[in-house]
Amino acid sequence: MNAEETSGGAVKNHVARADERNVQLPPPPHAPSVDPSTSDTSSTAAQLRADTDAHTGADTDASIDVRSIGQELVGAIDAVVAGHHDVAEIAVATLFARGHLLIEDIPGVGKTLLAQVIARAVGGSFSRIQGTPDLLPGDVTGSMMPVTDARGGTELRFRPGPIFANVVVFDELNRATPRTQSALLEAAEEATVTVDGDAHRLPGPFMLVATQNPIEIAGTYGLGEGSLDRFAAVVSPGRAAPEFELDVLTGRRGRSMLGAIEAITTTARIESIQHEVDRVRVSDAVGRYVVDLLTATRTHPAARLGASTRAGVSLISLARARAALHDRSYVVADDVASLAATSLGHRVMVADSNGSTTAGRDLVAECVATVPAPTA
């Protein structure tokens, strides 16, 4: 599928495109427009959600073709990001499973570009955050700002941060300090931000797509176990094959094609797909297979910390999404096996691995190879 075919039947994205000479995506369209002198601080987050719903409208289609929409999203990613079809499928499954995606690799292999394509193709609002050592938690979540009213009085009102968007691209997450990284824990787990004791709901659907450099790169802070556990999947695209690299160098793919990507669905339809995925059946046999895999990671001689129950829940959610993408209403063992390393690897602590998620994925792959899968 080329970029023209991908964008030909696309829905026009209401978010303005980023200047192609500047890789930074625009901030959330609603957050900067909040007028502190007139806005109701207690309903700021609710208003963001209402604005999104008003734009997309309610999805009245009772039957959602999950496979078709999924293929379009994968095709949009393939049209720009060269040679990483398997990563594109994992990214779409993560979105449909209400998960978050961490892209880990060396600089220059298209990590940020992959995240930007997802943001554009999904529709709705999006924002980009650049991880730096001086980035503060309030720069991400928002903070209380002093506002002077017409009578000269002053009060504090909440100003939403860039996290208030449907798709948030956090570039080079591990260049931010652990204090700032921890600001994402509540947002990633509960789609909520609490500031000064008040909870503010993030617009739905919400997906965090973060990139990080390998830990041996200078100026990085390793992600803690709690931060890593919030990501449903971790992928490492790697370098593209020579034929795909040629496409990038000649402009047939890569950043030069990003401007051709427009939204191919709506946020309301994505939420409907997520509800459809929730209804995909998981048999006891498949459930026991996941339990056996979790147990294998805990008893592996090289494991310092095995996968948790929450990791198993996340794996089941991804398996449901993969089944829906393959037009099935039930999960099979192959759904679990194909996603196990991606979903569990970063949650497994391996002795003498220096925090590398690659070692964890290798350990999980060994467990998949040794744990017998159900045949029925």
Q: What percent of the chain has pLDDT over 90?
A: 44
Is residue 296 a contact partner of residue 248, using CB atoms and an 8 Å limit? no
Mean pLDDT of 165-184: 90
Least confident of 46-50, 280-284, 356-360: 46-50
**What's residue 126's pLDDT?**
81
**What's residue 211's pLDDT?**
87
Mean pLDDT of 320-345: 95
Mean pLDDT of 294-320: 93
Nearest-angstrom CA–CA distance, 262 and 336: 32
**What's residue 23's pLDDT?**
39
**What's residue 246's pLDDT?**
84
Q: Which amino acid, 211?
A: T
**What's residue 310's pLDDT?**
92
Provide Rg for the chain, Cα atoms: 21
**What's residue 26's pLDDT?**
41
Q: Indicate the pLDDT class of residue 217, thresholds 50, 70 and 90.
A: low
**What's residue 54's pLDDT?**
42
Task: Indicate if the pLDDT at residue 24 is higher than 80.
Answer: no
**What's residue 376's pLDDT?**
61
Is residue 187 a contact partner of residue 100, using CB atoms and an 8 Å limit? no
**What's residue 266's pLDDT?**
86
Nearest-angstrom CA–CA distance, 93 and 178: 28
Mean pLDDT of 100-128: 82
Mean pLDDT of 79-102: 91
Mean pLDDT of 263-278: 91
**What's residue 100's pLDDT?**
95
**What's residue 208's pLDDT?**
93
Q: Indicate the pLDDT class of residue 338, thresholds 50, 70 and 90.
A: very high
Q: Where are the beta strands (DSSP E) in the chain?
A: 101-104, 126-130, 142-148, 154-160, 167-171, 192-195, 198-201, 207-212, 233-235, 303-305, 349-350
How far CA 303 is from CA of 267, 343, 352, 365, in Å, comes to 40, 16, 10, 13
Least confident of 55-59, 61-65, 74-78, 269-273: 55-59
Task: Indicate if the pLDDT at residue 9 is higher than 60.
Answer: no
Output the DSSP codes for 102-113: EEE--TTSSHHH
Q: Indicate the pLDDT class of residue 370, thresholds 50, 70 and 90.
A: very high
Task: Indicate if the pLDDT at residue 72 is higher than 70.
Answer: yes
Helix axes 267-278, 309-325, angle to 10 degrees: 110
Q: Which two tokens stand for residue 166?
A: 């449907």
Task: Indicate if the pLDDT at residue 271 is higher than 90.
Answer: yes
Element (H, E) at 197: none
**What's residue 260's pLDDT?**
82
Mean pLDDT of the residues in the chain: 81
Task: Indicate if the pLDDT at residue 239 is higher than 70.
Answer: yes
Cβ neighbours for 69, distance < 8 A, ≥ 6 positions apart: 264, 265, 269, 273
**What's residue 120's pLDDT?**
84
Q: Which residue has the higher pLDDT, 242 or 43?
A: 242
Mean pLDDT of 42-71: 57
Nearest-angstrom CA–CA distance, 118 and 211: 13
Q: Indicate the pLDDT class of residue 293, thresholds 50, 70 and 90.
A: very high
Is residue 345 a contact partner of residue 329, using CB atoms and an 8 Å limit? no
Output the DSSP codes for 264-309: -S-HHHHHHHHHHHHT-B--HHHHHHHHHHHHHHHH-TTEEE---H
